[in-house]
Structure 1
Amino acid sequence: MLLDAWRLAVGTLTAVRVRPPANVDRRTAGTAMVIAPLAALPLGAAVSVVALLGHWLHLSTLVTALLAVGAVVLGNRAFHLDGLSDTVDGLAASFDRERSLAVMKTGTSGPAGVAAVVLAMGLQAAGLAALFGRNHWWQAAILAGLVVCASRAALAMCCVRGVPPARPDGLGHTYTETVPVPVAALVWVIVAVVLAAAGGWAGLAWWRGAVAAVPALVVVGVVLRRAVQRFGGVTGDVFGATVELSLVALLVALS
Protein backbone atom coordinates (compact mmCIF):
# COMPACT_ATOMS: atom_id res chain seq x y z
CA MET A 1 0.00 0.00 0.00
CA LEU A 2 2.80 2.42 0.89
CA LEU A 3 4.53 1.81 -2.44
CA ASP A 4 1.30 2.48 -4.30
CA ALA A 5 0.82 5.67 -2.27
CA TRP A 6 4.34 6.79 -3.12
CA ARG A 7 3.83 6.16 -6.82
CA LEU A 8 0.49 7.94 -6.74
CA ALA A 9 1.94 10.98 -4.97
CA VAL A 10 5.01 11.28 -7.21
CA GLY A 11 3.08 10.62 -10.41
CA THR A 12 0.35 13.10 -9.52
CA LEU A 13 2.40 15.92 -8.02
CA THR A 14 5.48 15.88 -10.26
CA ALA A 15 6.40 15.26 -13.87
CA VAL A 16 8.68 12.40 -12.81
CA ARG A 17 7.67 9.22 -14.58
CA VAL A 18 6.90 6.37 -12.22
CA ARG A 19 5.16 3.04 -12.57
CA PRO A 20 1.39 3.39 -12.06
CA PRO A 21 0.16 2.20 -8.67
CA ALA A 22 -1.31 -1.29 -8.68
CA ASN A 23 -4.27 -0.23 -6.56
CA VAL A 24 -5.76 3.18 -5.76
CA ASP A 25 -8.33 3.21 -2.99
CA ARG A 26 -9.22 5.82 -0.38
CA ARG A 27 -6.58 4.61 2.05
CA THR A 28 -3.88 4.78 -0.62
CA ALA A 29 -5.02 8.23 -1.72
CA GLY A 30 -4.99 9.55 1.83
CA THR A 31 -1.51 8.21 2.46
CA ALA A 32 -0.33 9.75 -0.82
CA MET A 33 -1.49 13.19 0.32
CA VAL A 34 0.14 12.78 3.74
CA ILE A 35 3.53 12.01 2.15
CA ALA A 36 3.13 14.71 -0.50
CA PRO A 37 6.00 16.82 0.93
CA LEU A 38 8.36 13.86 0.47
CA ALA A 39 7.03 13.17 -3.03
CA ALA A 40 7.87 16.78 -3.94
CA LEU A 41 11.57 16.29 -3.17
CA PRO A 42 12.46 16.29 -6.91
CA LEU A 43 10.90 19.76 -7.18
CA GLY A 44 12.76 20.96 -4.11
CA ALA A 45 16.00 19.58 -5.48
CA ALA A 46 15.41 21.40 -8.77
CA VAL A 47 14.98 24.71 -6.93
CA SER A 48 18.18 24.15 -4.95
CA VAL A 49 20.16 23.25 -8.07
CA VAL A 50 18.90 26.34 -9.93
CA ALA A 51 19.84 28.50 -6.95
CA LEU A 52 23.36 27.05 -6.82
CA LEU A 53 23.87 27.41 -10.58
CA GLY A 54 22.59 30.97 -10.45
CA HIS A 55 25.15 31.83 -7.79
CA TRP A 56 28.02 30.20 -9.63
CA LEU A 57 27.03 31.90 -12.90
CA HIS A 58 26.74 35.27 -11.11
CA LEU A 59 23.10 35.77 -12.10
CA SER A 60 21.03 38.28 -10.18
CA THR A 61 19.03 36.83 -7.32
CA LEU A 62 15.74 37.87 -8.98
CA VAL A 63 16.62 36.18 -12.26
CA THR A 64 17.68 33.06 -10.37
CA ALA A 65 14.45 33.13 -8.37
CA LEU A 66 12.32 33.43 -11.52
CA LEU A 67 14.19 30.50 -13.05
CA ALA A 68 13.58 28.50 -9.86
CA VAL A 69 9.85 29.25 -10.02
CA GLY A 70 9.91 28.15 -13.65
CA ALA A 71 11.62 24.90 -12.68
CA VAL A 72 8.81 24.13 -10.23
CA VAL A 73 6.17 24.95 -12.84
CA LEU A 74 7.84 22.63 -15.36
CA GLY A 75 8.37 20.00 -12.69
CA ASN A 76 4.66 19.69 -11.93
CA ARG A 77 3.28 20.57 -15.38
CA ALA A 78 1.74 23.80 -13.99
CA PHE A 79 -0.79 21.53 -12.27
CA HIS A 80 -1.21 23.66 -9.15
CA LEU A 81 -1.14 27.00 -10.96
CA ASP A 82 -4.02 25.78 -13.10
CA GLY A 83 -5.90 24.95 -9.92
CA LEU A 84 -5.23 28.40 -8.48
CA SER A 85 -6.46 30.09 -11.65
CA ASP A 86 -9.64 28.00 -11.85
CA THR A 87 -10.43 28.41 -8.15
CA VAL A 88 -10.11 32.19 -8.25
CA ASP A 89 -12.16 32.35 -11.45
CA GLY A 90 -14.85 30.24 -9.77
CA LEU A 91 -14.92 32.51 -6.74
CA ALA A 92 -15.11 35.61 -8.94
CA ALA A 93 -17.65 34.26 -11.42
CA SER A 94 -20.82 34.06 -9.37
CA PHE A 95 -22.34 33.51 -5.95
CA ASP A 96 -24.26 30.61 -7.46
CA ARG A 97 -22.59 27.31 -6.59
CA GLU A 98 -23.39 25.50 -9.84
CA ARG A 99 -22.30 28.46 -11.96
CA SER A 100 -19.00 28.70 -10.10
CA LEU A 101 -18.30 24.98 -10.48
CA ALA A 102 -19.14 25.16 -14.19
CA VAL A 103 -16.66 28.01 -14.66
CA MET A 104 -13.97 26.06 -12.85
CA LYS A 105 -14.56 23.02 -15.01
CA THR A 106 -14.09 24.86 -18.32
CA GLY A 107 -10.33 24.98 -17.86
CA THR A 108 -9.97 28.46 -19.35
CA SER A 109 -8.41 31.33 -17.40
CA GLY A 110 -10.31 34.56 -16.84
CA PRO A 111 -8.92 37.92 -15.71
CA ALA A 112 -9.21 37.06 -12.01
CA GLY A 113 -7.41 33.75 -12.46
CA VAL A 114 -4.61 35.29 -14.53
CA ALA A 115 -4.13 38.06 -11.97
CA ALA A 116 -3.96 35.51 -9.16
CA VAL A 117 -1.33 33.44 -10.98
CA VAL A 118 0.82 36.48 -11.80
CA LEU A 119 0.63 37.74 -8.22
CA ALA A 120 1.40 34.33 -6.74
CA MET A 121 4.38 33.71 -9.01
CA GLY A 122 5.64 37.24 -8.39
CA LEU A 123 5.50 36.82 -4.62
CA GLN A 124 7.15 33.40 -4.86
CA ALA A 125 9.98 34.83 -6.96
CA ALA A 126 10.42 37.79 -4.59
CA GLY A 127 10.50 35.48 -1.58
CA LEU A 128 13.04 33.17 -3.20
CA ALA A 129 15.19 36.14 -4.23
CA ALA A 130 15.26 37.29 -0.62
CA LEU A 131 16.50 33.85 0.46
CA PHE A 132 19.05 33.58 -2.36
CA GLY A 133 20.52 36.95 -1.43
CA ARG A 134 21.53 35.87 2.07
CA ASN A 135 25.17 35.44 3.09
CA HIS A 136 24.63 31.74 3.81
CA TRP A 137 23.84 31.30 0.12
CA TRP A 138 24.20 27.55 -0.33
CA GLN A 139 22.33 26.75 2.87
CA ALA A 140 19.60 29.15 1.73
CA ALA A 141 19.41 27.29 -1.58
CA ILE A 142 18.69 24.05 0.26
CA LEU A 143 16.22 25.80 2.56
CA ALA A 144 14.33 27.10 -0.49
CA GLY A 145 13.99 23.56 -1.80
CA LEU A 146 12.66 22.38 1.55
CA VAL A 147 10.11 25.21 1.56
CA VAL A 148 8.76 24.03 -1.79
CA CYS A 149 8.35 20.54 -0.35
CA ALA A 150 6.77 21.88 2.84
CA SER A 151 4.09 23.75 0.89
CA ARG A 152 2.69 20.39 -0.24
CA ALA A 153 1.57 19.75 3.36
CA ALA A 154 -1.48 21.77 2.33
CA LEU A 155 -2.79 18.65 0.60
CA ALA A 156 -3.18 16.79 3.88
CA MET A 157 -5.43 19.62 5.07
CA CYS A 158 -7.50 19.39 1.89
CA CYS A 159 -8.16 15.73 2.62
CA VAL A 160 -8.83 16.08 6.33
CA ARG A 161 -12.04 14.59 7.66
CA GLY A 162 -14.78 17.17 7.83
CA VAL A 163 -13.87 18.87 4.53
CA PRO A 164 -16.39 17.48 2.01
CA PRO A 165 -16.07 17.18 -1.78
CA ALA A 166 -17.84 19.75 -3.95
CA ARG A 167 -18.87 17.04 -6.41
CA PRO A 168 -19.62 13.35 -5.95
CA ASP A 169 -17.29 12.46 -8.81
CA GLY A 170 -13.64 13.26 -9.48
CA LEU A 171 -11.45 13.70 -6.42
CA GLY A 172 -14.50 13.69 -4.20
CA HIS A 173 -14.87 9.94 -4.01
CA THR A 174 -11.21 8.97 -3.68
CA TYR A 175 -9.27 11.70 -1.88
CA THR A 176 -11.48 13.83 0.34
CA GLU A 177 -11.97 13.05 4.03
CA THR A 178 -9.27 10.38 3.98
CA VAL A 179 -6.84 12.00 6.44
CA PRO A 180 -7.59 12.05 10.20
CA VAL A 181 -7.26 15.46 11.85
CA PRO A 182 -4.41 14.33 14.19
CA VAL A 183 -2.42 13.05 11.19
CA ALA A 184 -2.81 16.33 9.32
CA ALA A 185 -1.78 18.22 12.46
CA LEU A 186 1.28 15.99 12.83
CA VAL A 187 2.30 16.72 9.24
CA TRP A 188 2.28 20.45 9.95
CA VAL A 189 4.18 20.02 13.22
CA ILE A 190 6.87 18.13 11.32
CA VAL A 191 6.93 20.88 8.68
CA ALA A 192 7.39 23.53 11.39
CA VAL A 193 10.22 21.58 13.05
CA VAL A 194 12.04 20.93 9.75
CA LEU A 195 11.75 24.56 8.66
CA ALA A 196 12.92 25.78 12.07
CA ALA A 197 15.99 23.54 11.92
CA ALA A 198 16.76 24.34 8.29
CA GLY A 199 16.18 28.05 8.83
CA GLY A 200 18.53 28.17 11.79
CA TRP A 201 21.14 26.26 9.78
CA ALA A 202 20.73 28.80 6.95
CA GLY A 203 21.40 31.74 9.25
CA LEU A 204 17.85 32.74 10.16
CA ALA A 205 16.60 33.04 13.72
CA TRP A 206 15.65 29.53 14.83
CA TRP A 207 12.02 30.45 15.33
CA ARG A 208 11.49 31.95 11.86
CA GLY A 209 10.91 28.63 10.14
CA ALA A 210 8.43 27.45 12.74
CA VAL A 211 6.54 30.73 12.70
CA ALA A 212 6.42 30.68 8.88
CA ALA A 213 4.26 27.57 9.05
CA VAL A 214 1.54 29.49 10.91
CA PRO A 215 0.49 31.94 8.16
CA ALA A 216 0.71 29.13 5.62
CA LEU A 217 -1.66 27.00 7.69
CA VAL A 218 -3.99 29.97 8.16
CA VAL A 219 -4.06 30.69 4.42
CA VAL A 220 -4.88 27.06 3.64
CA GLY A 221 -7.63 27.08 6.27
CA VAL A 222 -9.17 30.25 4.84
CA VAL A 223 -9.16 28.86 1.30
CA LEU A 224 -10.75 25.61 2.43
CA ARG A 225 -13.43 27.39 4.45
CA ARG A 226 -14.23 29.66 1.52
CA ALA A 227 -14.39 26.68 -0.85
CA VAL A 228 -16.84 24.87 1.41
CA GLN A 229 -19.00 27.99 1.73
CA ARG A 230 -19.03 28.81 -1.97
CA PHE A 231 -18.68 25.45 -3.71
CA GLY A 232 -20.04 23.10 -1.08
CA GLY A 233 -16.63 21.47 -0.69
CA VAL A 234 -13.26 21.06 -2.36
CA THR A 235 -12.23 20.10 -5.87
CA GLY A 236 -8.91 19.22 -7.45
CA ASP A 237 -8.53 22.89 -8.37
CA VAL A 238 -8.83 23.88 -4.72
CA PHE A 239 -6.09 21.38 -3.90
CA GLY A 240 -3.78 23.15 -6.33
CA ALA A 241 -4.74 26.60 -5.08
CA THR A 242 -3.87 25.72 -1.49
CA VAL A 243 -0.43 24.44 -2.53
CA GLU A 244 0.44 27.61 -4.43
CA LEU A 245 -0.85 29.94 -1.72
CA SER A 246 0.85 27.91 1.00
CA LEU A 247 4.15 28.35 -0.85
CA VAL A 248 3.50 32.09 -1.15
CA ALA A 249 2.81 32.38 2.59
CA LEU A 250 5.91 30.38 3.57
CA LEU A 251 8.24 32.39 1.33
CA VAL A 252 6.79 35.74 2.34
CA ALA A 253 7.15 34.83 6.03
CA LEU A 254 10.74 33.69 5.57
CA SER A 255 11.70 36.72 3.50
Structure 2
Amino acid sequence: MAVGDGLRLAITTFTVFPLRAGRVDRAAGAVAISVAPAVGALLGLVVGGVGWSLSWLGTPALVAGALAVGTGVLLTRGLHLDGLADTTDALGSYGGPERALEIMKKPDIGPFGVAAICLDLLIQTACLTALVTHPAATALVATATAMACGRLAVTVACARGVPAARPGGLGALVAGSVPPVVVALAAVAVGLLAVRATPAHPWQGPVVVAVATAVTAVLLRHLVRRFGGITGDVLGFVLEVSTGLCLVGLTLD
Protein backbone atom coordinates (compact mmCIF):
# COMPACT_ATOMS: atom_id res chain seq x y z
CA MET A 1 0.00 0.00 0.00
CA ALA A 2 1.15 3.55 -0.76
CA VAL A 3 0.47 4.66 2.84
CA GLY A 4 2.69 2.00 4.40
CA ASP A 5 5.40 2.53 1.82
CA GLY A 6 5.13 6.28 2.30
CA LEU A 7 5.49 6.04 6.07
CA ARG A 8 8.59 3.87 5.68
CA LEU A 9 9.98 6.30 3.12
CA ALA A 10 9.35 9.24 5.45
CA ILE A 11 11.25 7.59 8.29
CA THR A 12 14.17 6.45 6.14
CA THR A 13 14.40 9.82 4.38
CA PHE A 14 14.11 12.11 7.38
CA THR A 15 15.87 9.96 9.99
CA VAL A 16 18.66 7.40 10.32
CA PHE A 17 16.32 4.68 11.57
CA PRO A 18 16.67 1.64 9.31
CA LEU A 19 13.49 0.07 8.03
CA ARG A 20 12.81 -2.54 5.40
CA ALA A 21 12.70 -0.79 2.06
CA GLY A 22 9.27 -0.48 0.50
CA ARG A 23 8.07 0.78 -2.82
CA VAL A 24 9.57 4.12 -3.80
CA ASP A 25 7.34 5.88 -6.30
CA ARG A 26 5.43 9.13 -6.60
CA ALA A 27 2.47 7.90 -4.52
CA ALA A 28 4.73 6.81 -1.67
CA GLY A 29 6.68 10.04 -1.99
CA ALA A 30 3.52 12.10 -1.63
CA VAL A 31 2.64 10.28 1.60
CA ALA A 32 6.18 10.66 2.94
CA ILE A 33 6.20 14.42 2.34
CA SER A 34 2.70 14.78 3.79
CA VAL A 35 3.66 13.16 7.10
CA ALA A 36 7.08 14.84 7.28
CA PRO A 37 5.95 17.35 9.95
CA ALA A 38 4.89 14.47 12.22
CA VAL A 39 8.31 12.83 11.81
CA GLY A 40 9.88 16.19 12.61
CA ALA A 41 7.82 16.51 15.78
CA LEU A 42 8.98 13.10 16.99
CA LEU A 43 12.59 13.99 16.23
CA GLY A 44 12.13 17.24 18.12
CA LEU A 45 10.91 15.40 21.19
CA VAL A 46 14.07 13.30 21.18
CA VAL A 47 16.38 16.27 20.56
CA GLY A 48 14.65 18.41 23.16
CA GLY A 49 14.64 15.52 25.60
CA VAL A 50 18.39 15.04 25.24
CA GLY A 51 19.08 18.72 25.79
CA TRP A 52 16.75 19.13 28.75
CA SER A 53 17.95 15.91 30.42
CA LEU A 54 21.58 16.98 30.16
CA SER A 55 20.71 20.39 31.61
CA TRP A 56 18.76 18.76 34.45
CA LEU A 57 21.76 16.58 35.23
CA GLY A 58 23.87 19.69 35.70
CA THR A 59 25.47 20.06 32.28
CA PRO A 60 26.03 23.74 31.40
CA ALA A 61 23.18 25.01 29.23
CA LEU A 62 25.47 25.82 26.28
CA VAL A 63 26.96 22.33 26.31
CA ALA A 64 23.50 20.76 26.62
CA GLY A 65 22.23 22.87 23.72
CA ALA A 66 25.20 21.98 21.52
CA LEU A 67 24.85 18.26 22.25
CA ALA A 68 21.14 18.43 21.52
CA VAL A 69 21.85 20.01 18.13
CA GLY A 70 24.50 17.35 17.50
CA THR A 71 21.93 14.69 18.30
CA GLY A 72 19.63 16.16 15.67
CA VAL A 73 22.40 16.12 13.10
CA LEU A 74 23.18 12.47 13.87
CA LEU A 75 19.53 11.44 13.71
CA THR A 76 19.16 13.00 10.27
CA ARG A 77 22.62 12.11 8.87
CA GLY A 78 23.24 15.83 8.32
CA LEU A 79 21.32 15.36 5.06
CA HIS A 80 19.46 18.66 5.30
CA LEU A 81 22.64 20.55 6.12
CA ASP A 82 24.09 19.26 2.87
CA GLY A 83 21.07 20.64 1.03
CA LEU A 84 21.44 23.97 2.81
CA ALA A 85 25.08 24.22 1.81
CA ASP A 86 24.62 23.14 -1.81
CA THR A 87 21.68 25.48 -2.37
CA THR A 88 23.48 28.43 -0.78
CA ASP A 89 26.52 27.81 -2.97
CA ALA A 90 24.26 27.70 -6.03
CA LEU A 91 22.57 30.94 -5.03
CA GLY A 92 25.99 32.56 -4.71
CA SER A 93 26.88 31.76 -8.32
CA TYR A 94 26.41 34.20 -11.18
CA GLY A 95 25.47 31.64 -13.81
CA GLY A 96 22.05 30.64 -15.09
CA PRO A 97 19.88 27.77 -13.85
CA GLU A 98 22.01 25.13 -15.55
CA ARG A 99 25.19 26.42 -13.92
CA ALA A 100 23.46 26.65 -10.53
CA LEU A 101 22.18 23.07 -10.76
CA GLU A 102 25.66 21.90 -11.76
CA ILE A 103 27.11 23.52 -8.62
CA MET A 104 24.46 21.86 -6.47
CA LYS A 105 25.43 18.42 -7.80
CA LYS A 106 29.12 18.79 -6.93
CA PRO A 107 30.26 16.85 -3.85
CA ASP A 108 32.38 19.69 -2.46
CA ILE A 109 31.16 22.68 -0.44
CA GLY A 110 32.13 26.26 -1.21
CA PRO A 111 32.56 29.23 1.15
CA PHE A 112 28.89 30.23 0.97
CA GLY A 113 27.85 26.73 1.97
CA VAL A 114 30.32 26.54 4.84
CA ALA A 115 29.13 29.89 6.17
CA ALA A 116 25.49 28.81 5.89
CA ILE A 117 26.09 25.60 7.87
CA CYS A 118 28.08 27.42 10.57
CA LEU A 119 25.41 30.10 10.96
CA ASP A 120 22.61 27.54 11.00
CA LEU A 121 24.24 25.40 13.70
CA LEU A 122 25.17 28.48 15.73
CA ILE A 123 21.58 29.76 15.69
CA GLN A 124 20.15 26.38 16.61
CA THR A 125 22.67 25.91 19.42
CA ALA A 126 21.94 29.35 20.84
CA CYS A 127 18.19 28.74 20.74
CA LEU A 128 18.37 25.28 22.30
CA THR A 129 20.71 26.65 24.97
CA ALA A 130 17.84 28.96 25.96
CA LEU A 131 15.13 26.31 25.64
CA VAL A 132 16.80 23.63 27.78
CA THR A 133 16.54 25.91 30.83
CA HIS A 134 12.74 25.94 30.55
CA PRO A 135 10.45 23.36 32.20
CA ALA A 136 10.63 19.95 30.49
CA ALA A 137 7.23 20.16 28.78
CA THR A 138 7.97 23.58 27.31
CA ALA A 139 11.45 22.62 26.11
CA LEU A 140 10.27 19.42 24.46
CA VAL A 141 7.19 20.91 22.79
CA ALA A 142 9.11 23.94 21.56
CA THR A 143 11.81 21.78 19.98
CA ALA A 144 9.19 19.47 18.49
CA THR A 145 7.35 22.49 17.07
CA ALA A 146 10.49 23.90 15.46
CA MET A 147 11.46 20.62 13.84
CA ALA A 148 7.89 20.02 12.69
CA CYS A 149 7.82 23.53 11.24
CA GLY A 150 10.98 22.78 9.29
CA ARG A 151 9.39 19.69 7.75
CA LEU A 152 6.19 21.65 7.08
CA ALA A 153 8.31 23.83 4.78
CA VAL A 154 9.13 20.68 2.80
CA THR A 155 5.43 19.85 2.54
CA VAL A 156 4.73 23.37 1.28
CA ALA A 157 7.60 23.11 -1.22
CA CYS A 158 6.01 19.98 -2.71
CA ALA A 159 2.50 21.42 -3.08
CA ARG A 160 0.64 21.05 -6.36
CA GLY A 161 1.96 23.43 -8.99
CA VAL A 162 5.58 23.52 -7.80
CA PRO A 163 7.78 22.04 -10.58
CA ALA A 164 10.94 19.98 -10.38
CA ALA A 165 14.19 21.61 -11.51
CA ARG A 166 15.41 18.46 -13.27
CA PRO A 167 13.90 15.13 -14.30
CA GLY A 168 15.73 12.90 -11.80
CA GLY A 169 16.29 12.77 -8.07
CA LEU A 170 14.13 13.32 -5.00
CA GLY A 171 12.84 16.66 -6.25
CA ALA A 172 11.36 15.12 -9.37
CA LEU A 173 9.80 12.31 -7.34
CA VAL A 174 7.88 14.57 -4.95
CA ALA A 175 7.53 17.93 -6.72
CA GLY A 176 3.88 18.96 -6.98
CA SER A 177 2.71 15.77 -5.30
CA VAL A 178 0.93 17.15 -2.21
CA PRO A 179 -2.68 18.40 -2.56
CA PRO A 180 -3.42 21.87 -1.12
CA VAL A 181 -5.82 20.44 1.47
CA VAL A 182 -3.04 18.24 2.87
CA VAL A 183 -0.70 21.23 3.08
CA ALA A 184 -3.39 23.17 4.95
CA LEU A 185 -4.08 20.32 7.37
CA ALA A 186 -0.37 19.91 8.08
CA ALA A 187 -0.05 23.64 8.76
CA VAL A 188 -3.01 23.57 11.16
CA ALA A 189 -1.57 20.56 13.00
CA VAL A 190 1.82 22.25 13.51
CA GLY A 191 0.07 25.46 14.57
CA LEU A 192 -1.93 23.58 17.21
CA LEU A 193 1.23 21.93 18.51
CA ALA A 194 2.83 25.37 18.73
CA VAL A 195 0.18 26.60 21.17
CA ARG A 196 1.87 24.57 23.93
CA ALA A 197 5.36 25.69 22.93
CA THR A 198 4.93 29.10 24.57
CA PRO A 199 2.59 28.55 27.54
CA ALA A 200 2.95 32.15 28.80
CA HIS A 201 1.69 33.45 25.44
CA PRO A 202 -0.31 30.69 23.68
CA TRP A 203 -0.72 32.86 20.58
CA GLN A 204 3.04 33.27 20.09
CA GLY A 205 3.77 29.73 18.89
CA PRO A 206 1.18 29.66 16.07
CA VAL A 207 2.22 33.16 14.95
CA VAL A 208 5.86 32.08 14.85
CA VAL A 209 4.98 29.01 12.76
CA ALA A 210 2.91 31.15 10.38
CA VAL A 211 5.68 33.74 9.97
CA ALA A 212 8.41 31.13 9.49
CA THR A 213 6.32 29.30 6.91
CA ALA A 214 5.44 32.52 5.07
CA VAL A 215 9.07 33.67 4.92
CA THR A 216 10.15 30.26 3.69
CA ALA A 217 7.41 30.29 1.03
CA VAL A 218 8.75 33.62 -0.26
CA LEU A 219 12.26 32.16 -0.40
CA LEU A 220 10.85 29.12 -2.19
CA ARG A 221 9.35 31.29 -4.91
CA HIS A 222 12.78 32.83 -5.50
CA LEU A 223 14.44 29.41 -5.58
CA VAL A 224 11.93 28.12 -8.13
CA ARG A 225 12.55 31.14 -10.35
CA ARG A 226 16.32 30.82 -9.91
CA PHE A 227 16.61 27.09 -10.56
CA GLY A 228 13.49 26.37 -12.57
CA GLY A 229 11.94 24.24 -9.81
CA ILE A 230 12.85 22.30 -6.69
CA THR A 231 15.50 19.68 -6.02
CA GLY A 232 16.28 17.53 -3.03
CA ASP A 233 18.85 20.14 -1.98
CA VAL A 234 16.20 22.87 -2.11
CA LEU A 235 14.05 20.81 0.25
CA GLY A 236 16.95 20.61 2.72
CA PHE A 237 17.47 24.35 2.40
CA VAL A 238 13.89 25.34 3.20
CA LEU A 239 13.78 22.80 6.04
CA GLU A 240 16.82 24.26 7.79
CA VAL A 241 15.79 27.87 7.22
CA SER A 242 12.27 27.30 8.55
CA THR A 243 13.56 25.36 11.57
CA GLY A 244 15.97 28.15 12.45
CA LEU A 245 13.37 30.88 12.05
CA CYS A 246 10.92 28.98 14.23
CA LEU A 247 13.49 28.39 16.96
CA VAL A 248 14.39 32.07 17.05
CA GLY A 249 10.74 33.06 17.28
CA LEU A 250 10.01 30.59 20.08
CA THR A 251 12.87 31.90 22.20
CA LEU A 252 11.61 35.50 22.13
CA ASP A 253 10.19 36.63 25.46
Q: What TM-score range do you get, normalising by the shorter chain?
A: over 0.9
**Mapped pair 1:52 → 2:48:** no
CA distance in 2, matches of 1:169, 1:30: 16
Aligned counterpart, 1:17: 18
The 8 Å contact of residues 10 and 40 in structure 1, kept in 2 or not, is answered as no
TM-score between both structures, scaled by the size of structure 1: 0.92
CA distance in 2, matches of 1:46, 1:72: 8
Which range moved further: 26-35 or 83-92? Answer: 26-35
Matched position secondary structure for 1:74: helix
The 8 Å contact of residues 142 and 197 in structure 2, kept in 1 or not, is answered as no
Cα deviation for residue 189 of structure 1 reads 1.5
The 8 Å contact of residues 61 and 132 in structure 1, kept in 2 or not, is answered as yes
Give, as a single letter, the amino acid of the residue that structure 2 aligns with 1:20. A
Q: CA RMSD in A?
A: 1.5
Cα deviation for residue 105 of structure 1 reads 0.3
Q: How does 1:138-217 map to 2 (within 5 A)?
A: 138-147=136-145, 148-196=147-195, 198-200=196-198, 203-217=199-213
Aligned counterpart, 2:243: 247
CA distance in 1, matches of 2:41, 2:17: 11
CA distance in 1, matches of 2:25, 2:158: 14
Deviations 1:97-154, CA, capped at 9 Å, x for gaps: 11111111002111111111111111111111222223xx211231134122332111
Matched position secondary structure for 1:93: coil
The 8 Å contact of residues 164 and 177 in structure 1, kept in 2 or not, is answered as yes
Q: Identify if the C-alpha distance between structure 1 residues 71 and 172 changes in structure 2 by more than 3 Å, giving closer, same or farther.
A: closer
CA distance in 1, matches of 2:75, 2:170: 22
CA distance in 2, matches of 1:52, 1:98: 45
The 8 Å contact of residues 95 and 230 in structure 1, kept in 2 or not, is answered as no
**Mapped pair 1:237 → 2:237:** no
List gaps (5 residues or longer) in structure 2: none
Q: Percent identity?
A: 40
CA distance in 1, matches of 2:156, 2:104: 21
Give, as a single letter, the amino acid of the residue that structure 1 aligns with 2:109. S
Which range moved further: 163-172 or 38-47? Answer: 38-47
Give, as a single letter, the amino acid of the residue that structure 2 aligns with 1:235. T
CA distance in 2, matches of 1:92, 1:244: 18
| Structure 1: 4+ residue segments shifted above 6 A | none
CA distance in 1, matches of 2:161, 2:62: 41
CA distance in 2, matches of 1:208, 1:42: 21
List gaps (5 residues or longer) in structure 1: none
Give, as a single letter, the amino acid of the residue that structure 1 aligns with 2:64. T
